[in-house]
Structure 1
C-alpha cells in the first residue's frame, strides 16, 4: 500500500506544477481525519460542538485543531449540508463566515479539484489576509455515505497570470480536512480538522488560543445561513 507523505498536509504551500494526484491528497485527508479520534479533547461550544487538538509535530507548521458535531435529519439532512460543502465550498463559506469578504476561483483543475483564493477582512488593527488553497472533494456512493474535502495551501508565485487573481493582502496559510459521515442511527457527523497561520506579526499563542472557539462558530453560522436559504 502506498503511504501518504506526512508533509502533504502541512502549511508548506504547493506550487501548481507540483500538485500531487487527487487520490493522494484524499488519502492523506482520510488518514488525518481518521486520526482525530485519538486527539486530546478540548472544550465544547454551543452545547453540541466538541473540539479536539493535536500538538505540532515534525513537518507541521502549527498545532492542529478539530471540531465535531452530530446532526439529526429532522433538523438538517446530509444532502442539504453536502450540497453546500461538496460544490463551490469556498463561495458558500463567504456567505456564512463573517470574516471572508471575497472569494475568487483561480483555476478548476478538474470537476473535483479547484484552486480558490479567499480574502479575509478583520477588525482593526489586524490587516486583511489572503488564503489560497486547492480544495479536492469526493463522496462515496455506497451506504453509509462519506463526503470528504481536503484543502492544501497553494503558492502561485511561479504562475504570474494566476497570481494576479489573488487579492493584495498579507498571505496566510491553512490546511484542512472536512468530513460528512452518515451514522448507523440515521444521524450524520460533521468533522473538520485544520492547521493554520495568519502570517504577519500576530503572536502564535494568540492564534492557537482562539482557534477552538473560532472553528466551532462555523457550525451555528452555517446552520443559520442554510435555514435562511429554505
Structure 2
C-alpha cells in the first residue's frame, strides 16, 4: 500500500497492504506521545489512570488510554515483556475472561504475526471476532522499552487464511502498548486503543464503559502472572 499518509485507525488493512514494521513503530510512538495531553478520566483499582481523546473520530471511534506503574515486587520488566511481548494473544486468553479462542493465522516476520481472537459474551450479546496484526519491538538499551502494536486485518483477499476465523460479528481494534523502565526502578505500562465491537451495540454504551474495560485488564493480568509457577513467570 502507499504508506504515505497512513494512520493508526480501526479501518482494517489487507495482508497485502500491511505497512512496514518501522512505520508502525514510529506511528505507535507518536500516538503514545500525544496521549500525554489527552483528557483525564477516572482512576480504577487505585492505580490505573485512564484518558481519552476524540482524535480520529472521522475514522469511526475515539481513543482511550490507560497508564499504570508497577514495582518489581509486582512484576519485573522481563516478566511483563515475556507475557505481553511474546505470544500476546495466547496469553490474553488466559487473563481476559471474554476471550474464548485464539488462533495464529500467519507469521509474517520474527516480530509480526496475524492472530484471530474469538470473544464470547453473556446473552444477548453475540460472539465477536477480532483479527489483528501484532508487531512487537524491544529497545534493549537501558532504560528498556518494549512496544506491541496491534491493528485490524481484513482477510477477505485470502480464502485460506479467512478459513481460520471463527464465526461471529466482526469487531475491530487498534492499540499500542509500551512497557518502560523508570528511574525509580518501577515499570510503566501504557496503552492506547480505539475500537468498535461491530453489530448493533449503541456507541454511547461502548464508549461509556471503555475506560473501565481497559483498566480491568491490568489487575486481571497481574493476578494471572502471579499465579504462574516461578519458572514460567
Report the 3-state secondary structure (helix = DSSP H, G, I; strand = E; otherwise coil) of the residue aligned with 2:226: helix
Report the 3-state secondary structure (helix = DSSP H, G, I; strand = E; otherwise coil) of the residue aligned with 1:218: helix
Structure 2 spans left out of the alignment, 5+ residues: none
Is structure 2 residue 146 aligned with structure 1 residue 165?
no
Q: TM-score by structure 2 length?
A: 0.95
- The CA distance in 1 between the partners of 2:217 and 2:66, in whole Å, is 10
Q: Which moved more, 1:53-62 or 1:209-218?
A: 53-62
- The CA distance in 1 between the partners of 2:219 and 2:4, in whole Å, is 34
Q: Which residue of 2 aligns with 1:77?
A: 76
Residues 83 and 38 (structure 1), Cα distance of their counterparts in 2 relative to 1, 3 Å cut = same
- The CA distance in 1 between the partners of 2:84 and 2:9, in whole Å, is 22
Q: TM-score by structure 1 length?
A: 0.96
The alpha-carbon deviation at position 59 of structure 1 amounts to 4.4
Is structure 2 residue 154 aligned with structure 1 residue 193?
no
Kept in 2, the 8 Å contact 1:7–1:60? The answer is no
- The CA distance in 2 between the partners of 1:163 and 1:57, in whole Å, is 28
The alpha-carbon deviation at position 12 of structure 1 amounts to 0.6
Moved over 3 A (4+): 4-7
Q: Which residue of 2 aligns with 1:217?
A: 216
- The CA distance in 2 between the partners of 1:117 and 1:181, in whole Å, is 27
The alpha-carbon deviation at position 42 of structure 1 amounts to 0.2
Q: Which residue of 1 aligns with 2:47?
A: 48
Q: Which residue of 2 aligns with 1:156?
A: 155
- The CA distance in 2 between the partners of 1:99 and 1:84, in whole Å, is 18
- The CA distance in 1 between the partners of 2:143 and 2:65, in whole Å, is 22
Residues 58 and 206 (structure 1), Cα distance of their counterparts in 2 relative to 1, 3 Å cut = closer
- The CA distance in 2 between the partners of 1:148 and 1:7, in whole Å, is 19
Listed one character per residue, the Cα deviations across residues 152-207 of structure 1 (whole Å, up to 9, x for unaligned) are 10000001000000001110000000000010111110000100000100001100
Kept in 2, the 8 Å contact 1:183–1:189? The answer is yes
Listed one character per residue, the Cα deviations across residues 67-115 of structure 1 (whole Å, up to 9, x for unaligned) are 1000011221111111001110000000000000100000000110000
Structure 1 spans left out of the alignment, 5+ residues: none
Q: Which moved more, 1:50-59 or 1:152-161?
A: 50-59
The alpha-carbon deviation at position 8 of structure 1 amounts to 2.6
Structure 1 residues 13-52: aligned runs within 5 Å: 13-52=12-51
